[in-house]
Structures are given as structure tokens and as C-alpha cells.
A and B are shown apart, each in its own frame.
Chain A
């Protein structure tokens, strides 16, 4: 090969001025494959052994074996964006089916092939709102219960075009519709509401929230996830213009918050959608075939006038979510959602019976998570639970500190232990 290229040493092929050649070393030792696996395993094993009841935007359910085995097939795993659709029909169909799943569950007309996570999807929704709103407006309204983590991402997305993010009040764990109504005006671009919200409560008055947004021609954006949407009324039915949220609740084990943003909207906004879209067409043999479509929205064609800068997305995570959903089927999806309701209900009922706790703090139906009021400071209870091998989060709402616990099919077997540990914290010694 060197002869063919006409050099004695590959080094001669580098056309780099001597002044910027790197003569040092990184100081990274190489390792055999076995050593590397052991080394990384040792690093990862450095965490405390705890059963997690954490939630807070990163939820995991039991992932059936079929998801790993199929998604790790190298033709899927090692392929890339389908720039040559004829040789990438498999993944294109996967993404088309993923879009279809999101359309079915949200009730909206169009879903894209994925965003990074729910927070970046919300950011993109705000940018879409600023492009499609016919009147001038520069404010996006979000509930004051929106986690800071999501709020911060949203602000970074909206800063460039000069959109302001403002919060509207919640009361007793749900949206204060009158409070919201007092804040909307002609400058409102979009109103966002999540169900379930960060306290695990399913919002009961989203119809009214949608009306408030509609009255000022603001977009109504709803946040949810694909398991909750399996039983909830489709957001399009109560006026949602855009649905964002997370789909990594399907197909992904707990993985440090790695997400799968969903983005669905009404047909009217089709040409303003961010990210990849897969459409059906025909090939030269007259058979239905799939391709990336409406690419003139995208950065590689439209550059600074693109609807988004997104290129690489979460396609493989969408594949995993799709396999999981297909494995569950409609019965399985509904059963899993019901378990998300029953699991937290049962936990709350048992905790509420204990001395020193009140659960759930807020009325109304819950999904996966609930706030628990504690007589001792919540942080102390969380510390004590940690000693017993359980991780829960604490959260402040309305000036009060609470525990928030998350129950899914993945940790439900440990609920007895958690209840026992909670009881032990407040037990008065005999």
C-alpha cells in the first residue's frame, strides 16, 4: 500500500506544519480486551448497591430479552442515517413504524423519527411555535412544577430567537387554570403542560388549559410518555397542537438518563417539523418503499434556515422502544400502564397507614410517582432509607419538602422492603 501511495511511511502523508504537530503523548495506556472489560467493570462497580425508586423524568420498566437480541443485530446497530434508502429499507420501516406508534398514541397527524430527549423536544416545540404563530409573541408558559433541568434546556433553546420562558402557577400539585388564564395574552406563543407531571399527578383539566391557550391563538404543547398515553385520552382530543415527551420508558433499562424524545404535531405544521421524517413512497418495481422525506427542512440542505440543527438523533433507541411496544401489544401496553397506576396507589395506601407519613400529598390519580409528606425532614428520611438500601428523591413544592417515590414493574418487588424501611424510620421504640 505504501508503494502504491508513493511514501515510505504513513507519517509522510500528513500535511501538518511542524509547529502544530503533536510530539507529546496523551498518557493513556493501552489494554487488552480482557483488561479493558475488567477495568471498566471495576470503575462501574464503584457505586452503592441500592434499589432505586427515583423516576423524575428517567423511568425504566422491565425490558424483555427480545429487545437486546434484535436491536443488537449489526445491520441495525452499525448502520447510519438512511441517505441511500434502497439499501436501508429495514431501518426506514422501523422508523416509519415508530412514527406510526407515536401518532396512534398522541392522536396527532405527524410524528418525527426522534429527538434527543423530552427537554430538547420541548425546546424544539417552542422554536416551532415561534415559526408558525401568525401574530407576534415571545413568551412560552410552563408550569412552576417543571423540573429545573428541563427548564434550563428550554431556556437555552429559546434564548437565540429571543423567546422568554415564564412560569404559571400550580396549586395542590396540579395546574391552576385561573392563574394561567391571568398570564396569557397576545404575546403568548405556547402553553406547555405535562401529564403525568413531575409530582406524578395526572392533570385533570387539560381541556381547560387547551382552551386558555386557544383563546389567544397560542400553541398548546402537552408532555407525556408512551406508556401513560396507552391509557390516557390522546392529547389531540383535547386540543394539543404538539406533543413532546420521552419514549425511552420503552426499550431502555436504567441508563443514566439516556432518553428518546418524541415530537408529534398537527398536519398544518408539517413543513416546520424539526428532525428526520420517514415517508412511504414507491420504488421502480412499483412496490411500497420508505425514504427520508421533506429533507429541505433539514440542516444539510437548508443550513441556517433549517427547522433545527439536529442531524444524528436517537434512531436506535426508537428501534428498541418499537420492539418493546410490539412485544407488549395493545394488551401489554395497557397492562403496563395499569401497573404504573396500581403500583403507586398501593404504595401510597400502605405508607399513609404508617405513623409519620401522609401519602399521596396531593389528590387526584397518580402515575408511577407520588409525593409523600414526612414528619421528620424529608432529607433525613431519604438518608435513613439509603442505609437500608433504597434510593428515593426529595423535592420542594409550595415551600414544603417531600419525598417523591417512583414505582414500576422494575422495582415493585422491593416495595415491601421500602415500606418496612419507612416504618422503621418513624417507629417509636417500645
Chain B
């Protein structure tokens, strides 16, 4: 609900006196917007043709008419910050503007197709998927792509299963996955879910993979090395070819975490760097909306040697120009019952077609320029340079407190306290869709907060719907549904 327009122009001085932001806040005694269940609840008797012993006696749920339902969710939306509310430089999450037209494309009647139709009756979706597979393969420098994994972490898991199947097919049981200490938490968790032991890799002084440590870590137990490039500090792993040789010589495979692919569009391709497997985060790189936490989609690309291990079904064009699903010869099976988040596929396909080669190369250029410009405008130390689409600034005080205060300036703060290699880290990714004026607002917010007292920071935020929330008591006394609130207040 802030006035984005008011925020431009006056810069830091005005901001320091009076943060130019006020989020909507509906407040009643003891709470903000009441729960649906607190507005009106009704218990209705359940009387069906089913045998009584199969059914419940009554169903008690909120009971509101449509205008009240609409008001409830409208109010809740106003108490929520999205990309259209203001800048959202949340590092590693690539919170770029989501073009509106992709929603209309996804709402096309032809997108409403059931996956259990026969191939000949669903040529539209199959063609779209085959073409998207090919476009992603080209963008990643990969030979084959599956679209199935429903999120980035699911893509990691799928990629690791493919690697495992590959090694097993070669009668080569391996037990370890190597992950840099600064990698996304999902890398560790995905490898562990697939049954691997984790080997953690320290960074060198420049924030890149420590080659000596890698050499010591790689062995005939190495199934996979997982890397993000540029890494979580925004730095490109310049030794990537040597890294790939080292891992491949030991019989291991190389996995590319696509979280930072936005920096590479049109500039470099994981396949050309020696990666065997990669995932794409369609909701990051290809601008499909993050939806308050999802849906995402995490297709993976692989080299020719891994094609036959991809999940089933895979889509391909037949000789007569139609499209069909088939099971790759040594498929790992499925990682989702159907095709993951289909509507995300449609939106990403439309985004890529809209941009084309030139538009995609422009995305990475502007993303990298914006990050560098923003870093140059703030009075925070950025210990690791050069960086690309994101940088990690170091705060003089508690980064989490700095973030809370930034909220008062109408800026969604960066990712905080991570990666741990930087003290009081503020991991900042402005993306290509912010203008110079908005980047100046973000810089003004950074610097305004830097000049404020610890007391001011500790009492922030003030302009958001809720004030500082007590996280500790939420965890100590978990109340996770409206039932748990009964009698508790």
C-alpha cells in the first residue's frame, strides 16, 4: 500500500526522517485481520447415501458469503508484499517482475488438458513440452531435458538419482557427493535423500572453490560434485574447466545448480563448462511468479551419456512430425505423478519465446549491471569481487536487524546471514527488471538504515502490517491451526 511514486526522488534524507512506506494494516483487538473461522463458522450435518459408518456426523467450517470471502482475501493481499509492491532484491531467489501476459497465456483454454489423454489427443501440450525441452537444452548447452521435477530442489534430487543410476549401470557404486560449504541448503538435503554421504568443500580466499581442497576431496567414491556458477557470492568459478577435469578423471559427474543461471543467459552455458547435469529454476530465470512460495518448476538437462536415465515419460517428436511420450531405456522412473507444474511450463515457454536470443542476453547484462550499480551506490563493504548478478554485502551490525529496518523503507530486504563466509551477510540480487530510480531507492534504504541507531533497528519494523514477531515463542509453543488457538487467547 505504499506510495511507490513518493519514494522516488527525495532520496535518503527524506527517508531518514520518515520512511516513505506504510503497509496496509487491518487491526482489531488482539489481532489483525481475523481468521475466516473467527468471522463465521457453521457446523452442517452430513447426511449422504453412504453407509453411516463411513461418514462423519457433521462438518464444521467457516461459512461466509462471497463478498465477505472477497474482502478477507483482498485484505490479506494488502498485508502482503510482492514484486509489484516494490523492489525485492532477495539474493538467490531472482525476484524479477513477472510479465502479465504470461498469466493470460496460461489461462488459454487449450492449456486445460488432462494428462491421461492418449498422445494423439494431447498434441498441444506435448508439442509445447518438446519445444521447451529443446529451448532449455540450447540455453543450458545440454543434450536432453526433462521438464518433470516440480521445483528446483526436486530437480536436484532428480539429477542425483540420474547420476546414481548412471554409476550403477556402470557397476560403479559410489557413496559421496561433494558440495561447497556456501552451497544452497537444498544441495545437501537432496544428496542425503538420495542416500549419499556429504563431503563439504571449503572456499579459497577469493570465495571460489579451493582447488587443493577439491583435489583432496575427490576420489573413486565421488559420485557427483554440485556447484552453483556464479557461486552464491556472485563470483564465477574461473577454474571450472580444471574442476570438471578433476572430477571426470576420478569418474565422478558434475552437477550445475541453476539457481544463478540468470547471470549467464546468452553469455555462457553449463554444458560448455563440462557440467553433466543441471537444473533450471523456471520461476527464477524465466520469470514465472513465485506464488508466495511456489509453484516452481525444476527441469533438468543432461549430456548425451545420461539421456536414457531421465524420468519417464519423456517427450519427443516422431518421424511424422507428431509428438509422443516414451520411457527412456534406463529411466529412473517418476519424480512427480504427472508433469510437475504444467502452468509454470506454459508461462516459461511464453517468456522465452517473447525474449528470444537477444532479449535473453539482455536479461543477464542488465541483471549484472544492476547488481554492480547498486553495490557501487551503497556504503556497505562487499568483500568478494568481482561479482555478477548478485553480491553479498557485509553489515556493521546484525544483518537480520538491518533487514527488519529496511522493510520500513518499502524495500524487501536481501537474504540475510548467508552465505556464512561473509560476516553479517546481506545477499542482494536486484535483477534486471529494476530501473535506475528504483535501484537508487534501494541504495537509499541501505544507507539510511546503516546510519541508524541500534535502538531504531531493534524496534523495527514499524510500517509493516505486523510489528516485530516473536519467532522463539512461535517455535516453543507451536500453534499451527485455528484449533490450536481455541482457548489459548
Contact = CB atoms under 8 A, between A and B. Distances in A.
Interface string A288-304: 11110111101111111
Contacts of A287: 27, 30-32, 466-467
B89 to A, nearest CB: 12
A161 B195 CA distance: 6
Give the one of B75, B110, B337 with max A CB within 10 A: B337
Nearest to B104: A37
Contacts of A288: 30-32, 485, 489
Contacts of B76: 76, 89-91, 93-94
A41 B195 CA distance: 43
B121 A204 contact: no
A328 to B, nearest CB: 8
B135 A153 contact: no
Contacts of A4: 373, 376-377
Given A47-B125, A386-B121, A277 B480 contact: yes
B287 to A, nearest CB: 10
A283 interface: yes
B123 to A, nearest CB: 4
Contact of B37 (A37, A47, A74, A100): A100
A185 interface: no
A84 B460 CA distance: 12
Given A10-B366, A78-B290, A119 B336 contact: yes
Given A40-B346, A232-B55, A259-B337, A54 B117 contact: yes
B352 interface: yes
A75 interface: yes
Contact of B56 (A91, A232, A278): A232
Nearest to B67: A66
B245 to A, nearest CB: 12
A206 to B, nearest CB: 9
A315 interface: yes
Interface string B442-453: 000000000000
A22 B355 contact: no
A374 interface: no
A382 to B, nearest CB: 9
Interface string B106-138: 011111111111101111110110010001001
Contacts of B418: 300
Contacts of A429: none
Given A40-B105, A91-B293, A312-B294, A327 B69 contact: yes
Interface in A243-298: 253-259, 270, 276-291, 293-296, 298
Given A16-B267, A28-B356, A280 B474 contact: yes
Interface string A5-30: 11000110111110111100111111
B333 A283 contact: no
A48 interface: yes
A4 B32 CA distance: 44
Contacts of B483: 100, 103-104
A42 B339 CA distance: 21
Contact of A289 (B125, B333, B466): B466
Contacts of A103: 480-481, 483
Given A88-B81, A234-B56, A304 B198 contact: yes
Interface stretch (B7-15, B184-192, B247-255, B302-310): B184-192
Nearest to B90: A80
B387 to A, nearest CB: 8
B295 to A, nearest CB: 5
Interface residues of A, number: 174
Contacts of A156: 157, 161, 332-335
Nearest to B349: A40
Nearest to A264: B481
A72 interface: yes
A75 B236 contact: no
A283 B36 CA distance: 20
A291 B108 contact: no
B292 A303 contact: no
B101 interface: yes
Interface string B354-379: 11111110000110111011001100
B466 A283 contact: yes
A97 to B, nearest CB: 6
Given A48-B120, A58-B115, A391-B121, A334 B191 contact: no
Contact of A94 (B78, B101, B292, B369): B292
Interface string A30-60: 1111001101110111111010101111100
A14 B138 contact: no
A182 interface: no
A58 B114 contact: yes
Give the one of B342, B358, B412, B474 with max A CB within 10 A: B474
A371 to B, nearest CB: 15
Interface string B181-210: 000111011111111101000000000000
B44 A331 contact: yes
A231 B50 contact: yes
A279 B470 CA distance: 11
A19 B131 CA distance: 29
A256 B115 contact: yes
B59 A309 contact: no
A304 B188 contact: yes
A311 interface: yes
A45 B151 contact: no
Contacts of B266: 22, 26
Given A66-B69, A305-B192, A309-B192, 5 more contacts: A20-B272, A28-B352, A70-B69, A89-B80, A232-B50
Closest 10 CB pairs of A and B: A257-B338, A30-B356, A316-B291, A44-B110, A90-B80, A160-B195, A315-B293, A256-B342, A309-B189, A281-B474
10 contacts: A20-B241, A31-B356, A73-B73, A76-B76, A90-B78, A118-B337, A153-B336, A159-B194, A159-B195, A312-B293
